[in-house]
Amino acid sequence: MAGTNRTQPPVTGGPRIILIEPQLAENIGATARAMLNCGLTDLAIVNPLQEFPHGRAVAMASGATEVLDTAQVYDSVEDAIADLNRVYATTARPRELTVRVATPRLAASELRNAWRAGEAVGVMFGPERSGMTNEHVALADTLISVPLNPAYSSLNLAQAVLLVAYEWFTADDETPAEQFVEPDTGPATKAELVAFFERFETALDTGGFFRTPEMRPAMVRNLRAMLQRGNLTEQEVRTLHGVVSCLTGSWRDTENQKRYREADK
């Protein structure tokens, strides 16, 4: 899914992402991408196994290098989260601690509320293979556990970051759940639709489509309901007029041709 829309303002600001002892530089780069996909730019790295900055992190970051450029490296988790008010830890559930566990969706909602209230917030992620230690988990307020197939729940680090960051982003995103994209046209009015329906039904009458007068009302209703479900645009109604003309042979009428050819533009 390629795409960069430069007409809308970038989305910035949000929780710090803290990577605890990440093992591979590529994963830091992939994390930077996942963060920037969701408008997050504050990255903290605690004791990376491979030196940082690292060429492979930059290569993987591919366009998200601004996140790497401003990333901070720390010696300890305590230092990385010192200025934060609220910290979540994303991890499989530890067994020896009494903890509160939230889904990414709930955590994102809470992070949004806290962030709007002026709190400094962050989300921690542990090393790729071993996961986060209980000592580090105990530095967090709440755990995030990602709901996944119990039979196969292993995610790589950047994917875990992406899912949490995506929930953060969508918690306050104004994209409507559903949109109709209609280049150069708009929805037809009911008058335009009914005018088409009547012409269409007349053509069907002429062709003997409705076997008996008794069956006609129900068949007409069904046809109209079917066509209405398509949420036809003005241009599409014109196209359908052209279709009817073509199929009935009235296409040969030049006036009709001119009028309905507009629908091809």
Contact residues toward a second copy (CB under 8 A) are 1-11, 33-34, 36-39, 63-64, 90-93, 95-103, 105-106, 129, 131, 145-155, 159-160, 162-163, 166, 169-170, 173, 175-183, 185, 231, 233, 235-236
Q: Which among 35, 32, 37 has a CA at the least distance from the CA of 48? A: 32
Instruction: Kindly report the backbone phi and psi dihedral angles of residue 237, in degrees, each rounded to the nearest multiple of 5, phi listed first.
Output: -65, -40
Name which of 25 and 162 has its Cβ closer to a second copy: 162
Amino acid at the residue 171:
A
Supply the minimum distance, in Å, between the C-beta of residue 252 and a second copy.
Answer: 29
Buried b (16+ CB within 10 A) or exposed e, 215-225: eeeeebeeebe
Supply the minimum distance, in Å, between the C-beta of residue 63 and a second copy.
Answer: 6
Name which of 21 and 201 has its Cβ closer to a second copy: 21
Buried b (16+ CB within 10 A) or exposed e, 15-54: bbbbbbbbbbbbbbbbbbbbbbbbbbbbbbbbbbeeebbb
Supply the minimum distance, in Å, between the C-beta of residue 253 and a second copy.
Answer: 28
Supply the minimum distance, in Å, between the C-beta of residue 43 and a second copy.
Answer: 14
Name which of 13 and 213 has its Cβ closer to a second copy: 13
Name which of 147 and 217 has its Cβ closer to a second copy: 147
